[in-house]
Amino acid sequence: MNERIKGLINAPFTPFHKNGEVNTAPIERYAEMLKNNGIKGVFVNGSSGEGYLLTDEERMRIAEKWMQHTSPDFKIIIHVGSTSIKSGMQLAKHAQEIGAWGTGAMASPFPKATRVETLVEYCAQIAASAPKLPFYFYHIPGLSGVYLPMLSFLEAADGVIPNFAGIKYTFENQYEFNQCRLYKNGKYDMLHGQDETLLASLAMCGTEGGIGGTTNYNARELNGIISAWQQGDIDTAREKQNFSQAVINIIIKYRGNIVAGKRIMKLIGLDLGNNRLPFQNLSGDEEISLKKELENIGFFERCNKF
């Protein structure tokens, strides 16, 4: 329970067939590509994976497929959050049964927890269903709509959730993130979740681990930021962070990482299919425009390689 995540974990997309059914066939090649580009594991069925749009059976099947590619240096963490507490508990139990490294859950987007105590109880029941696995709360208020203070959450969860490991923190407040890292001399594992501010988090907070979405296709540059920072090469770290922000500046024009990022995977050689409704997929013309904008910043020379 005390092992800390070092390096970058990826939040993979869920592959679909043309008819909209889950397609697990690309996962083997997907896993090898991520490993080859320095990724230390995956956070399966999260927001990038359209987890809330999948059935419980689909989520378990995808988790089982990813587990075929686990190794000591490639962790499989399963997102088990759900609008149904019963589903979350079942998914957590399944994650433990198949040997996942850990579990995580974001706050339910419906109904939204309005009290820290309610959120802690929600997490406690899910975490208790996989008591042998470290549990991470996935703080992403931009999607969940739950903007509760995370330092207060840590204080309330401390000692209440025995297998509570820390927070995947996907929010802009680096001050709050750092305060959480400092809580009880760094008792909990705080994972950086915003690829656009990785360098700032390394410098201000001493970040050691993170879970990203653009790592699907830009892990080489993001890992490069960490390497340059560790070597004291601030100019290179800053250039790579600026490049990574340029990539993000493009994808936000095409409905963000979940939609545009999934299409980028096709452009670099791994077609994972479309997104499920209610996501609006890119048109053919939009894909051409996206590719051109990425070419203009030299993305395809610096992106993940197979």
Which residues does 4 contact at the CB level (< 8 Å), separation at least 6?
A: 189, 208, 209
Structural contact between residues 216 and 222, judged by C-beta atoms closer than 8 angstroms: no
Q: What is the pLDDT averaged over residues 115-138?
A: 98
User: Which tokens is 18 given?
Assistant: 């043309």
Structural contact between residues 9 and 286, judged by C-beta atoms closer than 8 angstroms: no
- Closest C-alpha among 229, 221, 260 to residue 48: 260
Is 294's pLDDT higher than 80?
A: yes
* Strand 102-106, strand 189-192: pairing: unpaired
Q: What is the pLDDT averaged over residues 162-182?
A: 97
pLDDT digits (tens, 9 = 90+) for 26-55: 999 999 999 999 999 999 999 999 999 999
pLDDT of residue 2: 73
Kindly report the average pLDDT of the chain as a whole number.
97
Which residue matches tokens 């980028």?
Answer: 264
User: Which tokens is 153 given?
Assistant: 């959450």
Which residues have a catalytic role annotated? Answer: 138, 168
pLDDT of residue 1: 61
Domains and CATH numbers, the chain: 7-233 (3.20.20.70)
Q: Which long-range contacts (CB under 8 A, 24 or more apart) does 226-231 make?
A: 226/7, 226/8, 226/198, 226/202, 229/199, 229/202, 229/203
Q: What is the pLDDT averaged over residues 175-181?
A: 98
Query: What's the angle, vertex CA 77, arms to CA 177 and CA 137, rounded to 5?
Result: 35
pLDDT of residue 9: 98
pLDDT digits (tens, 9 = 90+) for 53-88: 999 999 999 999 999 999 999 999 999 999 999 999
